[in-house]
Structure 1
Amino acid sequence: MRQLPAFRTLRDFIDWCAAQNQLAAISEPVSVRHRMTAVHRAALERGGPVLRFETPVLADGRVSGIPVVTNLFGTTDRVAAGLGVSAESLPDLGEFLAALRAPTPPEGMRDALSRWPMLRAALATRPKMVSHPAVQEVVEEGGAIDLGGLPVQTHWPGDAGPLITWPVVLTRPYGTEADSVSRYNAGVYRVQVIGRDRLIMRWLAHRGGAAHHRGWARAGEPMPVAIVLGAAPGLLLSAALPLPETVSELGFSGVLGGARPRLTPARTVPLLVPADAEMVIEGWVSPAETAPEGPFGDHTGYYNAAEPFPVMQVSAVTRRADALYLSTYTGRPPDEPAIIGEVFNKLALPTIRAQIPEIRDLWLPPAACSYRMAVVSIDKRYPGQARRVMMALWGMLPQFSYTKAIIVVDDDLDPSNWDDISWALATRMDPSRDVMILNDTPMDYLDFASPQPGLAGKMGIDATNKIGPETTRDWGTVMRMTPEDEAAALDIIARHLPEGMP
């Protein structure tokens, strides 16, 4: 299925982007405090290339010797490339992810492996151990650690301070060994720098890192953590994908990257880390100590409030001798998480169809913070079907529990076309009959529009044609030209348009 060369490292992917004319080097000094975010956002909004800031200026005026890379996944084509495929092949990769989730009967395993060679790779991926890793060419421990020397951005004027935004945070459950890689969790969390060797780990309660931390905290022990900065694209995207719990993100990163993951023992914590990453921050998260994290600009387009999260004591920083620092920002869409979400939406569709077969298409509008609103088209066959689909979606995947509004339309419409949606709402929906309101349901606690933190209502809108007992009136018939007339019209227009017009 893979169509692109193997991207073993972040550098491999950046070199590929450069060969595609998708890399811009910025040599002039740019401050990591606010200005770099402004440049990044301007490039992203224009569908621009990967940016490499050669001369980052730290908050205290010093020039960092570590270049900053941003906008890595600023287009859907680059996200697809990071997954190893073209944008056109995303549905095939989505079918493969659906196959990972679907239980395969024993007699069907041979057929499944023949149809999905990547399934064999996913099940058989084993890491390769490396004794002299590039990521440990420079090792700083004890008094040599100075996180203030890294070009960590302060993104927005109201931010509390420097924020690491593209870390892959590696943790393992209490009671496991360092070589239990299949038990590792790799997650992308927000990490605030609060001192020369201290960080705040912001992981929400339902995330894997937080679950692991609760186990270590119950035992009264600090938890070993490795924060990978500048990971290969396969690991970056594996850590963000909603993979089945039985699939290791580290192992799956090898499938996406086209090569076995290369790992090495960390220097000061009992964990294995990617040998070819740009940097790794090692340390221990306290079982009890917290500090106020935030406020920071969030994906909602607002600043979230400061809240207590666990503190990490850094024990080592390892890096390549010529390390790069990978960064991004979060804010009101568009941002990189929203663009990645567009791609993940396409990948999730086969999994969703496997559970709710009548769904034909689904769109999560990026402007609605990617998951707060969903528009679904269905093959409607019976009364009440739209409401059944709404309820099934809300209960199917964890991320849909935070979707506050679902609009259901018929499959003659494009759910990603606002004109189609507006027409369906105006002609196929009656507010007194077709709007369903649920109270006191789970919600992202960062949504301050909710009456209570973490608890809010949901709205479902049935904008489908009404059938059977759903209406007592004769339903209208949609006006359409015959296919023959439409084809003839296009031919006539094409021959008579002024030259140069589309």
Structure 2
Amino acid sequence: MRSLPVFPDLRAFLTHAEGRGDLVHIADPVDLRHEMTAVQLAALRAGGPVLRFNAAQHCGRPAAMPVVANLFGTPDRVAAGLGLSLDQVSAFGEFLAALRSPAPVEGMRDTLSRWPVLRAALQSRPKLLRRGPAQEVSAPLDLSLIPVQTPWPGDAGPLITWPVVVTRPQGSDAGQVARYNLGVYRAQVIGPDRLILRWLAHRGGAAHHRSWARAGEPMPVAIALGADPATLLSAALPLPETVSELSFSGVLRGARAELVAAKTVPLLVPANAEIVLEGWVHPGETAPEGPFGDHTGYYNAVEPFPVMRLSAITHRRDPLYLTTVTGRPPDEPSVIGEVFNTLALPVIRAQIPEVTDLWLPPAACSYRMAVVQIDKRYPGQARRVMLALWGMLAQFSYTKTIIVVDRDIDPRSWDDIAWAMATRMDPARDVMLIDGTPMDYLDFASPREGLAGKMGIDATTKIGAETTRDWGQVMELDPVHATRAEALLRGVLR
């Protein structure tokens, strides 16, 4: 399935990017406060390369290590992180859908034909190492030695933006990696050995935190900085709660995840990460987090979130620090979301077969709005699809608006969408409003924190009991005439 080599660590991926002329070294000093953000966003909006800042500094003081940014700043690099070319992403999505819900095996020939699926299942089992590069150096408990950005002028302070936070539920064993959760939660630096972890209530890390808090026990936490592409993307994917990101990363990587026992907490951590932070979250200990600029294009409100007290920092002998910036799209998360949209479509279609295409407009913060194309066959089908999507994955519970269109409408064309809404939608009949549903705390448009409404717009052709009027006929030219016209004008309109 993979067309690119396995990337066991971040460095292998950077070497691949540099070999393609897709990485640049920036030798000029660039400040971690605000200035680096401007450079990152300028590169991303130009479709530019991975950036390696070799002279990052903080208020005139040189950073202790290079900073890597804009890692997944183009769809091609996101696909490369999956080991694929961009045109292979859709087929890989079909493969992942089959891996999640395999059909019954029929005979030996069928078994052999499914070897890629069986091989992927084996690759999902992590491999435990006695030692790993991530633990070559035991560093002082001083986060100021790590070149953490302060991205926006109104930010409360330094913010770790690409942390892969490793947790497990209370009552589990450190070796039960299938029960681990990996999540990308922003982490605010508030002292040399303290961080605030901002995980929202629906995320796996928050669920694990509640289980330890109920038992009145401190929770072990590890943070991998500069993990390999497969681990980073697995942690960012909205996977079902029953799927371990650590195990799933083996499928994406094309090789088993390599783990090593943490030094001071009962957890296994990515052996090939650049830096690993270890520590504990104690029951009831919180601190005010924020404000920080977020993917909505606004600063979020200050809220209390759990504090992590560090017990160890380990890293490679010559570590790299990986960072990113979130803001109003386009930003790196919105670029990743474009590729994930294609990757997730086969999984969605496996659950809701009448869905033929789906687009999450990046400008709408990726998941706040969805345009869904369906093969409509019966009255009320558009509403059923809306409700199914809202309940399918936790991420879709934050989708405020769903627009459903027919197969003759391109769901990625605003012109097509506007025409369908103008000619196939009656506001009194075809708009469904729901109140009091889950919503991202960062949505300032919602009247209550964590609760908001949903709107579903049925912009499909109305059939059966949906209308009492004869429906209009769409005007179309004979394809023969259209082809003839194109041939006649080909030379004239060059």
Q: Secondary structure at the match of 2:62?
A: coil
Change beyond 3 A, Cα 1:414–1:260: same
- 8 Å CA contact 1:283, 1:312 repeated in 2: yes
Change beyond 3 A, Cα 1:22–1:109: farther
Encode CA deviations 1:283-327: one digit per residue, 9 max, x unaligned.
Answer: 111122100011111111111111111111111111111110000
Query: Which is further off, 328-337 or 247-256?
Result: 247-256
Query: What is the correspondence of 1:21-40 to structure 2 with a 5 Å cutoff?
Result: 21-40=21-40
- 8 Å CA contact 2:123, 2:254 repeated in 1: no
**What code does the residue aligned with 1:150 have?**
I
Encode CA deviations 1:257-289: one digit per residue, 9 max, x unaligned.
Answer: 222222211111121111111000111111221
Instruction: Tell me whether 1:78 sits opposite 2:77 in the alignment.
Output: yes
Gaps of 5+ in 2: none
**What code does the residue aligned with 1:375 have?**
V
Q: Secondary structure at the match of 1:414?
A: coil
Q: Distance in 2 between matches of 1:255 and 1:468?
A: 45
- 8 Å CA contact 1:8, 1:258 repeated in 2: no
Query: Which is further off, 70-79 or 87-96?
Result: 87-96
Instruction: Tell me whether 1:455 sits opposite 2:451 in the alignment.
Output: yes
Q: How far did 1:177 drift? A: 2.3
Gaps of 5+ in 1: none
Q: Distance in 2 between matches of 1:287 and 1:189?
A: 19
Instruction: Tell me whether 1:240 sits opposite 2:239 in the alignment.
Output: no
- Which residue in the other structure is 1:202 paired with? 198
- 8 Å CA contact 1:221, 1:287 repeated in 2: yes
Query: Which is further off, 320-329 or 240-249?
Result: 240-249
Q: Distance in 2 between matches of 1:293 and 1:109?
A: 57
Q: Secondary structure at the match of 2:385?
A: helix
Q: Distance in 1 between matches of 2:101 and 2:51?
A: 39
Instruction: Tell me whether 1:496 sits opposite 2:492 in the alignment.
Output: yes
Q: How far did 1:118 drift? A: 3.9
Pick the aligned partner of 2:180 from 165, 169, 184: 184
Pick the aligned partner of 2:306 from 276, 299, 310: 310
Q: How far did 1:61 drift? A: 2.6
- Which residue in the other structure is 1:135 paired with? 134
Change beyond 3 A, Cα 1:113–1:222: farther
Q: Distance in 1 between matches of 2:123 and 2:233?
A: 20
Q: Distance in 2 between matches of 1:244 and 1:263?
A: 22
**What code does the residue aligned with 2:460 have?**
T
Query: Which is further off, 362-371 or 386-395?
Result: 386-395
Query: Which is further off, 224-233 or 373-382?
Result: 373-382
Encode CA deviations 1:438-478: one digit per residue, 9 max, x unaligned.
Answer: 12222112211111111111111111112223223332211
Change beyond 3 A, Cα 1:113–1:100: farther
Change beyond 3 A, Cα 1:407–1:226: same
- 8 Å CA contact 2:326, 2:332 repeated in 1: yes
Query: Which is further off, 390-399 or 150-159?
Result: 390-399
Query: What is the correspondence of 1:211-360 to structure 2 with a 5 Å cutoff?
Result: 211-360=207-356
Change beyond 3 A, Cα 1:110–1:285: farther
**What code does the residue aligned with 1:471 have?**
T
**What code does the residue aligned with 1:221 have?**
E
**What code does the residue aligned with 1:353 have?**
R
Q: Distance in 2 between matches of 1:338 and 1:310?
A: 27
- Which residue in the other structure is 1:473 paired with? 469
Q: How far did 1:153 drift? A: 0.4
Q: How far did 1:395 drift? A: 1.6
Query: What is the correspondence of 1:388-427 to structure 2 with a 5 Å cutoff?
Result: 388-427=384-423
Q: How far did 1:89 drift? A: 1.1
Encode CA deviations 1:168-210: one digit per residue, 9 max, x unaligned.
Answer: 1111121222222222111111101000111111111111111
**What code does the residue aligned with 1:378 have?**
I
Change beyond 3 A, Cα 1:29–1:454: same
Q: Secondary structure at the match of 2:278?
A: strand
Q: Distance in 1 between matches of 2:211 and 2:353?
A: 38
Q: Secondary structure at the match of 2:216?
A: coil
Change beyond 3 A, Cα 1:466–1:189: same
Instruction: Tell me whether 1:97 sits opposite 2:93 in the alignment.
Output: no
Q: Distance in 1 between matches of 2:401 and 2:413?
A: 17
Change beyond 3 A, Cα 1:63–1:113: farther
- Which residue in the other structure is 1:54 paired with? 54
Q: How far did 1:119 drift? A: 4.5
Change beyond 3 A, Cα 1:451–1:113: farther
**What code does the residue aligned with 2:98 have?**
A
Q: Distance in 2 between matches of 1:125 and 1:82?
A: 17
Change beyond 3 A, Cα 1:110–1:291: farther
Instruction: Tell me whether 1:374 sits opposite 2:370 in the alignment.
Output: yes
Q: Distance in 2 between matches of 1:325 and 1:471?
A: 59
Encode CA deviations 1:422-453: one digit per residue, 9 max, x unaligned.
Answer: 11111111212211111222211221111111
- 8 Å CA contact 2:123, 2:255 repeated in 1: no
- Which residue in the other structure is 1:20 paired with? 20
- Which residue in the other structure is 1:120 paired with? 119
- 8 Å CA contact 1:145, 1:317 repeated in 2: yes
Change beyond 3 A, Cα 1:135–1:46: same
Q: Secondary structure at the match of 2:282?
A: strand
Instruction: Tell me whether 1:156 sits opposite 2:127 in the alignment.
Output: no
- Which residue in the other structure is 1:4 paired with? 4
- Which residue in the other structure is 1:45 paired with? 45
Q: How far did 1:248 drift? A: 2.3
Change beyond 3 A, Cα 1:254–1:469: closer
Give % identity. 70
Q: Secondary structure at the match of 1:495?
A: coil
- 8 Å CA contact 2:279, 2:310 repeated in 1: yes
Q: How far did 1:344 drift? A: 1.1
Q: Distance in 2 between matches of 1:14 and 1:76?
A: 16
Q: How far did 1:102 drift? A: 2.0
Q: Secondary structure at the match of 2:491?
A: helix
**What code does the residue aligned with 1:57 have?**
Q
Encode CA deviations 1:43-72: one digit per residue, 9 max, x unaligned.
Answer: 1111111111111112x4310131111110
- Which residue in the other structure is 2:87 paired with? 88
- 8 Å CA contact 2:54, 2:67 repeated in 1: yes
Q: Distance in 1 between matches of 2:260 and 2:65?
A: 23
**What code does the residue aligned with 2:52 have?**
R
Give the paired residue count. Answer: 494
- 8 Å CA contact 1:293, 1:306 repeated in 2: yes
Query: Which is further off, 411-420 or 171-180?
Result: 171-180
- 8 Å CA contact 2:238, 2:393 repeated in 1: no
- 8 Å CA contact 1:44, 1:335 repeated in 2: yes
- 8 Å CA contact 2:278, 2:312 repeated in 1: yes
Q: Distance in 2 between matches of 1:475 and 1:189?
A: 49
Q: Secondary structure at the match of 1:438?
A: strand
Q: Distance in 1 between matches of 2:142 and 2:200?
A: 27
Q: Distance in 1 between matches of 2:119 and 2:187?
A: 35
TM-score for the superposition, normalised by structure 2: 0.96
Encode CA deviations 1:115-156: one digit per residue, 9 max, x unaligned.
Answer: 36144323553333333421122112xxx3210121100001
CA-based RMSD: 1.8
Q: Distance in 2 between matches of 1:383 and 1:44?
A: 44
Q: Distance in 1 between matches of 2:309 and 2:428?
A: 56
